[in-house]
């Protein structure tokens, strides 16, 4: 979801404009590259996080784009057992680097919102406890 459209950049032979949706996709790809990220969260409201495929990477990303700067919010689902602060810091570095390298915009902030934890089958602690009690 984009807040503000990017301004045009004037060059000698015309203008260049990068759509906010492009920045959202760059941020989404840079986010899911990080080990421990199970997926992007479907949104900030409702309390329901859903795993989104590659086609919907921008659904878990919100950007604000000005003439020279961008601010990014990413909503993620982490894999159980991974250190959330480390994952979040790595996302911040990778998103900032990717956007700045590809667009020339200066990323002033990257906010990471963790919306859920993904458990692989058999990892959920309640399942393990229930299995032990039933024996």
Reply yes or no on whether the pLDDT at 61 is more than 90: yes
d(CA 95, CA 51) in angstroms, rounded, equals 19
Q: How confident is the model at residue 106 (pLDDT cuts 50, 70, 90)?
A: very high
Q: Where are the domains of the chain?
A: 18-118
The closest alpha carbon to 107, from 1, 8, 30, 11, belongs to 30
74-78, 81-85, 119-123: range with lowest mean pLDDT: 119-123
Residue 135 has a pLDDT of 60
To the nearest whole percent, how much of the chain has pLDDT over 70? 71
Compute the distance between CA of residue 129 and CA of residue 17 in angstroms, rounded to an integer: 55
Residues 6+ apart with CB under 8 A from 18: 6, 65, 103, 105
Band (49; pLDDT cuts 50, 70, 90): very low
Query: What is the pLDDT confidence band of residue 15, given thresholds at 50, 70 and 90?
Result: confident
pLDDT reported for residue 114: 95
pLDDT above 50 for 121: yes
Helices (H), the chain: 20-32, 84-103, 125-134
Task: Identify whether the C-beta of residue 81 lies closer than 8 Å to the C-beta of residue 123.
Answer: yes
Region label for 117, one of left (φ > 0), alpha (ψ between -120 and 50) or beta (otherwise): beta
pLDDT (tens digit per residue) in 23-41? 999 999 999 999 999 988 8
Residue 66 is predicted with a pLDDT of: 87
CATH for the stretch 18-118: 3.30.70.1350
| Predicted pLDDT at 102 | 96
Q: What is the mean pLDDT of residues 51-63?
A: 71
Radius of gyration of the chain (CA): 18
């Amino acid at each position: 979801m984009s807040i503000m459209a990017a301004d045009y950049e004037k060059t000698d032979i015309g203008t260049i404009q990068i759509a906010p949706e492009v920045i959202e996709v760059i941020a989404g790809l840079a986010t899911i590259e990080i080990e421990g990220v199970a997926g992007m969260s479907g949104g900030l409201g409702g309390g329901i996080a859903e795993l989104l495929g590659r086609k919907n990477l921008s659904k878990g990303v919100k950007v604000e784009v000005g003439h020279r700067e961008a601010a990014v919010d990413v909503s993620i689902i982490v894999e159980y057992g991974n250190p959330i602060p480390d994952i979040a810091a790595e996302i911040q570095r990778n998103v900032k680097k990717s956007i700045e390298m590809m667009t020339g915009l200066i990323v002033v902030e990257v906010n990471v919102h963790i919306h859920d934890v993904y458990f692989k089958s058999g990892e959920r602690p309640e399942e393990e406890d229930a299995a032990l009690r039933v024996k």
